[in-house]
Amino acid sequence: MSPLVLTGAGVSIEDVVAAARNTCKVEVTPSVLEKLTKARQVLDAAAAGGQQIYGLNTGLGANLVTAVEGD
- Enclosing H/E stretch for 4: strand 4-6
Residue 56 is assigned to a structural domain of this protein: yes
Residue 69 is assigned to a structural domain of this protein: no
CB within 8 A of 15, min separation 6: which ones? 4, 24
pLDDT, tens digit (0-9, with 9 covering 90-100), for 31-65: 999 999 999 999 999 989 989 899 888 999 999 89
Q: Rounded to two decimals, what is the model's pTM?
A: 0.70
Residue 71 is assigned to a structural domain of this protein: no
Fill in the amino acid letter for 40: R
Residue 14 is assigned to a structural domain of this protein: yes
Q: How many domains does the chain have?
A: 1
Residue 70 is assigned to a structural domain of this protein: no
The domain containing residue 25 runs over which residues? 4-63
pLDDT, tens digit (0-9, with 9 covering 90-100), for 2-29: 899 999 999 999 999 999 999 999 999 9
